[in-house]
Structure 1
Amino acid sequence: MLLYLSAACLALGGLYAVVTFVNLVVFRAPPRVNGGQGARVSILIPARDEASNIAAALDCVLAQQDVEMEVVVLDDGSTDGTDEIVAARAASDPRVRLIRGKPLPAGWNGKQHACHQLANEARHPSLLFLDADVRLAPDAAARMQVYMSIRDLSLVSGFPRQITRTLSEMIVIPQILVLLLGYLPFPMARLSNEPGLAAGCGQLMMVDAAAYRVAGGHEAFRNRMHDGLNLPRNVRRTGGRTDILDATPLASCRMYDNWPDIWTGFSKNATEGMAKPVALPVWTVLLFGGHILPPVVALVALLLGAPDAARAALWATGLVFLARTLLAVKVRQHPLSVILHPVGVAVTLWIQWAALIGARKGQRAEWRGRTYDVN
């Protein structure tokens, strides 16, 4: 029995490691810009109660180089003075515009409605949707635009370097890229324009304005939570090409800074990703069998004197931790996220199963003071 378990561990852990090794080779940051590119970009920031973030976000955005840009911030019913901060900046810098969000219509998700309004206000041919907690490097917009041009893309996105300071952040947040680079084969996703192979990050997403409109924009998934999945997939469905780049040198973000926000943030759109009745059992086998079970089987096999089983399980454990370490080095994750990797996988599965069970019971997702139905 132990030998069969260790063989399964080696197969599942090896799958993750091999896909990660391949993806790390092709997962690259865009080339540096030498100046004079002439890109015209509308940087679009939805903001709801972002008084603690918006000034720093605007500082970084307004420092962009080698692009002609406008910065449009939509205040989505803030009560903390976000609008006043943006209005003051707009009064001193003509590149900044503040628009007041309209009341949220029935059937719309708050962020999708905000981004829809922002896109309607945009004047430039490239749209860069940016969350207010993201801090751009000075050459970020120009490099993303050049990457789109070189690869003939309609949309490109990337995960900013995730700032993690508390233990819960270090354990959970790095799992986003563990899943992306461990289970989405990038070479295949680039060769095929299959919508199911599309993925993205709503924190930092640049899209050609014409392709955005053909795909129906954010209105096409007005009642959905996960813009990072839905917009790239819709762009592919309407003939555009999409890709994900390594945004580690382009931007940084502290996504959540406490456990309740991590739980709520990861739960709110779980049922649009992993937490589906058919998909989640498969993900559980892949993640539990490939990341948590190998060290357990190795320990049990060593204690019971089963060297062949122990050897296979140790190989699986070593491959997973090697791939995990290389990923952490590339995207600058905290070393504790590697050491506690099996814990991170276990917590991720816990959140996903809780979201699925909650959805089956009719629970609603909560975010930014609003509640939404989930399916």
Structure 2
Amino acid sequence: MTVLALLAVALALLPAFLALANLFALRRAAPGTPAPDGLVSILIPARNEAANIGPTLAAALASTGVPIEVIVADDHSTDGTAAIVAEFAARDARLRLIAVPPLPPGWTGKNHACHVLGQAATGRHLLFIDADVRLAPHGAAALAGAAETVGAALVSGVPRQITGTWGERLTVPMINFLLLGYLPVPLMRRLKDPALGAACGQLVLVEADAYRRVGGHGAIRESLHDGVRLPRVFRKAGLATDLVAASGLATCRMYTDFAQSWAGFSKNAHEGLATPRALPVWTLLLGGGHVLPLLLAIAALLGAGSLPMAGAALAVSLLTRAAITLATREDPWTIPLHPLTVALALALQWNALLRPAQAGVATWKGRTYPAG
């Protein structure tokens, strides 16, 4: 038990140190000033988003500090998405609605819609946002300014995640925890190694010429995980990518319940952690650093093992999660649930990897694709 407790402490300290360095690096990043003539094209792929698209458009059109155009690609919606966009477009000439052609073989839906949007855009920078993302008025200008300041061809960040149910609160916080607890942001900024590339697909700004030069979303046409794959395409071409603190730049409510969260995170698991080589390592890192401490603390309370060591590991794990949660302005009531959140994340990844009926396909937005 002592050896396990020492392992738990060590595995809990690793993300603690990385989170400290990352939060400091992101906090120090200057917002920058966008080019005065730098049009930003805000590009929104939309498929059956009638419940979301109105507030998203209102927020995008309220952007300040930089000239904008807004283009929505209606991807064969069967609800009122197109009609809502058309109503907004009739009142604001900066907004255009375009129809996405039929999905070609070998493409996933979002990447195809983004490719079509990229072809239609005229801006110096292209800001791809999901249809459930609400930009802050200064969000587009801040991202364009950050790109200009650091000379990055791609800049991304995680919007403040809105979680309304316990199913969301138990799953969504893993986005920021994995990014800030396990990606060395200072090293990512120094090196252009593709393996260090990371983005949040909800909010990605790219320099238009660079985007088209590397093939844009066409270079990852088969992918369901643009947040991982797109920055790696840029880095393979020798271009810099960067992350910024984006909780003040946009908000997003990804899902509305546990079932949606499970399905949503499962769809891209094979391009993330759920691979035969990666998942055992991540199970050790995450399980050992964040689930094991709670189990050891319970065992110590029952008379087996050292409570001080188990308690120390659990405290480090929860304090790390608290620092990330508060810095990203997520729901603080999720902090005590952290061990369960990590356990659920690992269960989701192992389920995606091991269940034969689901391992070969991923279904999303009414379409089914080969997984991985």
TM-score range, shorter chain: over 0.9
Shift of 1:47: 0.4
Shift of 1:35: 9.0
Select between 320-329 and 343-352 the one with higher mean Cα deviation. Answer: 320-329
Secondary structure at 1:138 match in 2 = coil
User: Counterpart of 1:145?
Assistant: 144
Shift of 1:29: 8.0
Secondary structure at 1:67 match in 2 = coil
When residues 33 and 9 of structure 1 are mapped into structure 2, their CA distance, relative to the original with a 3 A threshold, is closer
* Cα distance in structure 2, aligned partners of 1:104 and 1:167: 35
* Cα distance in structure 2, aligned partners of 1:153 and 1:34: 14
Shift of 1:37: 3.6
Q: Is the 8 A contact 2:158 2:246 kept in 1?
A: yes
Confirm whether residue 111 of structure 1 aligns to residue 147 of structure 2. Answer: no
Secondary structure at 1:294 match in 2 = helix
When residues 29 and 251 of structure 1 are mapped into structure 2, their CA distance, relative to the original with a 3 A threshold, is farther
Q: Is the 8 A contact 1:164 1:254 kept in 2?
A: yes
* Cα distance in structure 2, aligned partners of 1:130 and 1:305: 50
* Cα distance in structure 2, aligned partners of 1:165 and 1:84: 28
When residues 33 and 187 of structure 1 are mapped into structure 2, their CA distance, relative to the original with a 3 A threshold, is closer
Q: Is the 8 A contact 2:7 2:288 kept in 1?
A: yes
Q: Is the 8 A contact 1:39 1:66 kept in 2?
A: no
User: Counterpart of 1:337?
Assistant: 334
* Cα distance in structure 2, aligned partners of 1:329 and 1:127: 30
* Cα distance in structure 2, aligned partners of 1:337 and 1:35: 36
User: Counterpart of 1:95?
Assistant: 94
Confirm whether residue 52 of structure 1 aligns to residue 51 of structure 2. Answer: yes
User: Counterpart of 1:367?
Assistant: 364
Shift of 1:128: 0.3
Shift of 1:268: 0.2
Secondary structure at 2:283 match in 1 = helix
* Cα distance in structure 1, aligned partners of 2:360 and 2:191: 37
Secondary structure at 2:223 match in 1 = coil
RMSD: 1.6
Q: Which runs of 5+ in 2 are unaligned?
A: none
Q: Is the 8 A contact 1:112 1:218 kept in 2?
A: yes
Shift of 1:311: 2.1
**Per-residue CA distance 1:209-238 (angstroms, 9 max, x = gap):** 111112211111111101111110000111
Q: Which amino acid aligns with 1:321?
A: L
Q: Is the 8 A contact 2:294 2:339 kept in 1?
A: no
When residues 281 and 210 of structure 1 are mapped into structure 2, their CA distance, relative to the original with a 3 A threshold, is same
Secondary structure at 2:255 match in 1 = coil
User: Counterpart of 2:307?
Assistant: 310
Shift of 1:122: 0.7
Shift of 1:305: 6.1
* Cα distance in structure 2, aligned partners of 1:162 and 1:233: 24
Secondary structure at 1:321 match in 2 = helix
Runs of 4+ in structure 1 deviating by more than 4 angstroms, as ranges, are 29-36, 359-362
* Cα distance in structure 1, aligned partners of 2:270 and 2:188: 22
Confirm whether residue 21 of structure 1 aligns to residue 33 of structure 2. Answer: no
Q: Which amino acid aligns with 1:292?
A: V
Secondary structure at 2:206 match in 1 = strand
Normalised to the residue count of structure 2, the TM-score between the two structures is: 0.96
Secondary structure at 1:39 match in 2 = coil
* Cα distance in structure 1, aligned partners of 2:29 and 2:84: 32
> Structure 2 matches for 1:253-264, cutoff 5 A?
253-264=252-263
**Per-residue CA distance 1:110-157 (angstroms, 9 max, x = gap):** 000000000000111100001110000000000111111111110000
User: Counterpart of 2:193?
Assistant: 194
Q: Which runs of 5+ in 1 are unaligned?
A: none
Aligned residues: 372
* Cα distance in structure 1, aligned partners of 2:28 and 2:356: 37
When residues 211 and 358 of structure 1 are mapped into structure 2, their CA distance, relative to the original with a 3 A threshold, is farther
* Cα distance in structure 1, aligned partners of 2:35 and 2:215: 32
> Structure 2 matches for 1:284-295, cutoff 5 A?
284-295=283-294
Confirm whether residue 327 of structure 1 aligns to residue 315 of structure 2. Answer: no
* Cα distance in structure 2, aligned partners of 1:266 and 1:60: 26
Q: Which amino acid aligns with 2:12?
A: G
> Structure 2 matches for 1:215-254, cutoff 5 A?
215-254=214-253
User: Counterpart of 2:79?
Assistant: 80
Q: Which amino acid aligns with 1:76?
A: D
**Per-residue CA distance 1:300-335 (angstroms, 9 max, x = gap):** 2343264xx332222111111111111111111112
Normalised to the residue count of structure 1, the TM-score between the two structures is: 0.96
* Cα distance in structure 2, aligned partners of 1:290 and 1:352: 17
**Per-residue CA distance 1:50-72 (angstroms, 9 max, x = gap):** 11111111100111111111111
User: Counterpart of 1:177?
Assistant: 176
Secondary structure at 1:243 match in 2 = strand
Q: Is the 8 A contact 2:66 2:140 kept in 1?
A: yes
* Cα distance in structure 2, aligned partners of 1:52 and 1:251: 18
* Cα distance in structure 2, aligned partners of 1:110 and 1:35: 31
Percent identical across equivalent pairs? 47
Q: Is the 8 A contact 1:29 1:249 kept in 2?
A: no
Q: Is the 8 A contact 2:52 2:131 kept in 1?
A: yes
User: Counterpart of 1:135?
Assistant: 134
Q: Which amino acid aligns with 1:316?
A: A
